[in-house]
């Protein structure tokens, strides 16, 4: 089994930021705040956050904030609850939450809660359990969970639980590992994990491991490095991580590295990107790979943050 190419991955992440006119940068322009969260959290897990210009990052983040309190994916774009969480998470990495107007952000996030307890992602109203997690995680980091109706938020998430023990986007939606992470983490943060059928969900989640050692996100689908995060963090939160073969998963993630130019891809031999580099390294952190900072499975930031 190879080793994690730490130096190469650091170089890769720093180089992505510099290639502003590349095809990838152009098509990712509107979600740059997400890219910043993935790239900077990876650097922090690798112990290399000091390789970036902190002041430059922070002033760009603050330029993405709107009067409503919400943050956009980049300057000149519309605010969304997802980029708001990413902005808060990145500021937390730099221990700079004190520069935020917490009341303003709490008003923005709590204003997106609907009558049935669900959350919309922005003013256009799409509802999804991803947004329930994001609201709960963001307000909890800012210590403002009391701004929303937590009981209704939890009841809505529970209404998205399926007979297989998993969770979907909305009531009746198919169980998917990404949504399961969102629902389980939101329930963990609000102290409501008793709503989860841990054995049933643990079984569904550990069935995601296929022969190559990698994990898929739902039955009959291809494995993808990102599920090393969505599945593993959920198994840890429900205390069933011993049900998968950790060594095989470490091997799968390491096989997805570009050991020459850095970066991690979804599957071996595919093209690398920052999203999979982050979730690969975050997965290895959950697997206690040597030399990496530990990451919190619910808040998705290093434990020391
Ligand atoms: C702070 C970690 C963190 C997350 C913020 C945005 C979000 C909250 C969570 C997203 C959860 C989610 C739905 C993840 C899945 C992403 C993904 C790879 C979707 C691909 O879906 P399909 O149907 O792929 O294309 P499959 O693997 O099912 O074929």
Residue-wise pLDDT tens digits, 179-195: 999 999 999 999 999 99
Which pLDDT value is given to residue 63?
97
Pocket test for ligand 1, best of 87, 126, 137, 181 (most atoms within 8 A of CB): 181
CA neighbor of 159 nearest in space, from 177, 132, 124, 139: 132
* Mean pLDDT, residues 193-200: 98
- Distance between CA atoms of residues 177 and 129, nearest Å: 12
- For atom 2 of ligand 1, the residue with the nearest CA is 300
Asked if residue 218 has its Cβ within 6 Å of ligand 1, the reply is yes
- Asked if residue 83 lies in contact with residue 45, where contact means CB atoms within 8 angstroms, the answer is no
The one-character DSSP state at 74 is: S
Question: Could you tell me the pLDDT band of residue 251, with boundaries at 50, 70 and 90?
Answer: very high
Asked if residue 297 has its Cβ within 6 Å of ligand 1, the reply is no
* Mean pLDDT, residues 205-224: 97
- Distance between CA atoms of residues 133 and 4, nearest Å: 30
* Mean pLDDT, residues 276-292: 98
Asked if residue 224 has its Cβ within 6 Å of ligand 1, the reply is yes
Contacts of 119 (CB under 8 A, 6+ apart): 81, 112, 113, 127, 128, 131, 132, 134, 135, 153
Which pLDDT value is given to residue 68?
97
For tokens 């996030």, name the residue: 109
- Distance between CA atoms of residues 88 and 180, nearest Å: 22
* Mean pLDDT, residues 34-48: 97
The architecture (CATH level 2) of 6-287 comes to: Alpha/alpha barrel (1.50)
Domain ranges for the chain, please list them: 6-287
pLDDT of residue 164 exceeding 80 = yes
Contacts of 215 (CB under 8 A, 6+ apart): 177, 208, 209, 223, 224, 227, 228, 231, 232, 244, 249, 252
Q: Cα of 75 to ligand 1 centre, how many Å? A: 24
pLDDT of residue 297 exceeding 80 = yes
């Amino acid at each position: 089994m190879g080793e994690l190419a730490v130096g190469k991955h650091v170089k890769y992440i720093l180089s992505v930021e510099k290639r502003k006119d590349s095809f990838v940068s152009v098509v990712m322009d509107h979600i740059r705040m997400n890219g910043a969260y993935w790239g900077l959290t990876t650097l922090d897990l690798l112990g290399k956050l000091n390789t970036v210009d902190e002041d430059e990052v922070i002033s760009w983040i603050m330029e993405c904030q709107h009067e409503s309190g919400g943050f956009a994916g980049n300057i000149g774009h519309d605010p969304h609850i997802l980029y708001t969480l990413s902005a808060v998470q990145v500021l937390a990495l730099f221990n700079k939450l004190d520069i935020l107007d917490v009341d303003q952000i709490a008003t923005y996030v709590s204003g997106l809660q609907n009558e049935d307890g669900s959350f919309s992602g922005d003013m256009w109203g799409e509802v999804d359990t991803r947004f329930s997690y994001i609201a709960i995680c963001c307000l909890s980091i800012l210590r403002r969970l009391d701004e929303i109706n937590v009981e209704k938020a939890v009841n809505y998430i529970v209404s998205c639980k399926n007979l297989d023990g998993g969770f979907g986007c909305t009531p009746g939606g198919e169980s998917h590992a990404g949504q399961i992470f969102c629902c389980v983490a939101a329930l963990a943060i609000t102290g409501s994990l008793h709503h989860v059928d841990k054995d049933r969900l643990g079984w569904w989640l550990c069935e995601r491991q296929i022969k190559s050692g990698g994990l898929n996100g739902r039955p009959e689908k291809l494995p993808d490095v990102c599920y090393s995060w969505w599945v593993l963090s959920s198994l840890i939160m429900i205390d069933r991580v011993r049900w998968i073969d950790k060594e095989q998963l470490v091997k799968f993630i390491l096989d997805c590295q570009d050991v020459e130019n850095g970066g991690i891809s979804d599957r071996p031999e595919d093209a690398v990107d920052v999203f999979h580099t982050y979730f690969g390294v975050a997965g290895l952190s959950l697997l206690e790979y040597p030399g990496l900072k530990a990451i919190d499975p619910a808040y998705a930031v290093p434990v020391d943050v």
